[in-house]
Amino acid sequence: MEIDVLAKRLRQCRRERGLTQSEVSIFCDITEKSYQYYELKRREPKLSILVRIADFYGVSLDYLVGRTDQKC
């Protein structure tokens, strides 16, 4: 996984929807600090968390990790 792409796309998806990191973390059942670390490239999320985030944003896992530029 390209962590730079993941961080960029997480931030982009969140901003497109006008959400805070706190709002995303609540839905995904993770701490706000964990989500911040994903956007700051300090940590890589587990697959189960990535799936929850992708579902929340309505995008594919491939999009989040940079394997495609198509969101769905």
Q: Provide DSSP, 18-34.
A: T--HHHHHHHHTS-HHH
- pTM to 2 decimal places: 0.92
Residue 1 pLDDT > 70, yes or no? no
Residue 72: the pLDDT is: 83
**Tens digits of per-residue pLDDT, 48-66?**
999 999 999 999 999 999 9
Per-domain boundaries in the chain: 3-64
CA distances from 7 to 18, 28, 53 (A): 17, 16, 12
Query: How far from chain centre, in Å, is Cα 11?
Result: 7
CA distances from 53 to 1, 38, 45, 65 (A): 15, 11, 10, 12
CATH topology of domain 3-64: 434 Repressor (Amino-terminal Domain) (1.10.260)
Residue 2 pLDDT > 90, yes or no? no
